[in-house]
Amino acid sequence: MFRAISRSQISLRPFIRRAPACRAFSSSHVSRSDGILNSLDTLTEEEQLLQESVRRFANEVVAPKVREMDENEMMDPEIIKGLYEQGLMGIETPADYGGAESSFTAAIIAIEELAKVDPSVSVLCDVHNTLVNTIFRKHGTKEQQEKFLPLLSESKLGSFCLSEPASGSDAFALKTRAEKIGDDYIINGSKMWITNSYEAEIFLIFANVDPSKGYKGITCFAATRDMGIQIAKKEQKLGIRASSTCTLNFDDLKVPAANIIGGVGQGYKIAIECLNEGRIGIAAQMIGLAQGAFDKAVPYTYQRVQFGQPVGHFQGMQFQIADAATDIAAARLLTYNAARRKEEGKSFTKEAAMAKLVASRVAQSVSGAAIEWAGGVGFTRETGIEKYWRDSKIGAIYEGTSNIQLQTIAKFIQKEYS
């Protein structure tokens, strides 16, 4: 069914390196020299090439494995290898550190394209790029960047370890402690819900070095699996089942003080900052998911004949399909707008929260409707449509629940109007 192609034919690396999308994007995309503003979803030539290339990788390499990975609740190592080969695991990382040196929007486009085919593969790439790589890039020392970024770009998967059994939305109430002994810190505690952690080699762990200071004691540590990180439990989930989500226990985990990222007590700032960015990535995952479900179900409605005509020709169906297409377009514009504001150096926290909130709602409503449009077959695993709906639920939970996004948006409104 899928044309056999070699990996080298579809690699993103050559053109990303040749023409980093971020440079072309910021100078020519949003505001051209003649002062004309482009539409939000206008992509530069480089971005279009990247989009086409990720789309091809997703359709030809990921798609054949989606159902099996979902059923097995396991990511195929070949997919992770393929993501590295495509240059998708260091999208914004400087070329000197083995990355593609591209833009944040390039990462958003890649996450969206992957999610059209498999939201599990998408979130693996998203967490690795928008959280882990970003923290090293923005807050790591030169030595830390030299040591970790090439590994993250070339072969070692990253995890972001903030949530704990007793601290989710209230993340900074975390209980994991780090005690300084000589040149090392000894970390004790437990992390829960950690994406990528089953396969990861590099972990960013948030621990409190001085609980008397409250959240100002929270510090970010870079640790590697060989330091003794153990998986306590791998979750069985409703959706994104190929994406690993584990509980990690740290029992006297020894991490050198040299592995503190951004300084002692800076962990909460680092986490807030990168999660604001990360939310745009989740919004991209959700719009990709919604589009993927739409693309699978809509053609079926023009083939399936009932009452002597394709079911998609009934007005009752046409209006639902039109509503869904409009919702996806609206969510996409919110997401691209948040990404562009971030690249332009403008405030984007409110916009990112709005994008994630709306995109996760749209993902759930469109994928739910897509099942209904396909009728009984939509409810079976065969079509893959029901998987999008299962996968969509997570959009309202991770990187801040929908209530937390609403809280963020409300804070901005209150500030603006009172």
Ligand X SMILES: Cc1cc2nc3c(=O)[nH]c(=O)nc-3n(C[C@H](O)[C@H](O)[C@H](O)COP(=O)(O)OP(=O)(O)OC[C@H]3O[C@@H](n4cnc5c(N)ncnc54)[C@H](O)[C@@H]3O)c2cc1C
The C-alpha atoms of residue 219 and residue 102 are separated, in whole angstroms, by 29
By the rule CB under 6 A, 163 interacts with ligand X = yes
Q: Are 259 and 297 in contact (CB under 8 A)?
A: no
Candidates 102, 398, 405, 408: give the one binding ligand X (CB under 6 A): 398
Q: Shortest distance, CB of residue 377 to ligand X, whole angstroms?
A: 28
By the rule CB under 6 A, 168 interacts with ligand X = yes
Minimum CB distance to ligand X smaller for 285 or for 301 = 285
Q: Are 388 and 370 in contact (CB under 8 A)?
A: yes
Buried b (16+ CB within 10 A) or exposed e, 175-200: ebbbeeeeebbbbebbbbbbbbbbbb
Candidates 108, 115, 194, 223: give the one binding ligand X (CB under 6 A): 194
By the rule CB under 6 A, 394 interacts with ligand X = yes
Minimum CB distance to ligand X smaller for 51 or for 190 = 190
Closest CA to 11 of 61, 54, 47: 54
Residue nearest to ligand X (CB): 168
- Active-site position among 73, 382, 399, 416: 399
By the rule CB under 6 A, 403 interacts with ligand X = yes
Q: Shortest distance, CB of residue 181 to ligand X, whole angstroms?
A: 26
**What contacts 130, CB < 8 A, 6 or more positions away?**
104, 107, 111, 274, 277, 278, 280, 281
Which segment (11-19, 42-50, 163-171, 370-378) binds ligand X by CB under 6 A?
163-171
Q: Shortest distance, CB of residue 333 to ligand X, whole angstroms?
A: 25
Closest CA to 206 of 254, 148, 160, 263: 160
Q: Are 242 and 90 in contact (CB under 8 A)?
A: no
Q: ∠ CA(367), CA(372), CA(378), 5° rounding?
A: 80
Active site residue 399: yes
Which segment (43-51, 192-200, 258-266, 298-306) binds ligand X by CB under 6 A?
192-200
Site residues (CB under 6 A) for ligand X, limited to 229-288: 237, 245
Q: Are 277 and 130 in contact (CB under 8 A)?
A: yes
Candidates 16, 111, 127, 204: give the one binding ligand X (CB under 6 A): 127
By the rule CB under 6 A, 169 interacts with ligand X = yes
Q: Shortest distance, CB of residue 218 to ligand X, whole angstroms?
A: 12
By the rule CB under 6 A, 193 interacts with ligand X = yes
Residue 306: CB atoms within 10 A of its CB come to: 9
| Residue 389, token pair as written in the block | 């709906």
By the rule CB under 6 A, 392 interacts with ligand X = no
Which residue type occupies 58? Answer: A
Residues that bind ligand X (CB under 6 A): 127, 160-163, 168-169, 193-195, 237, 245, 394, 397-401, 403-404, 407
Catalytic residues: 399
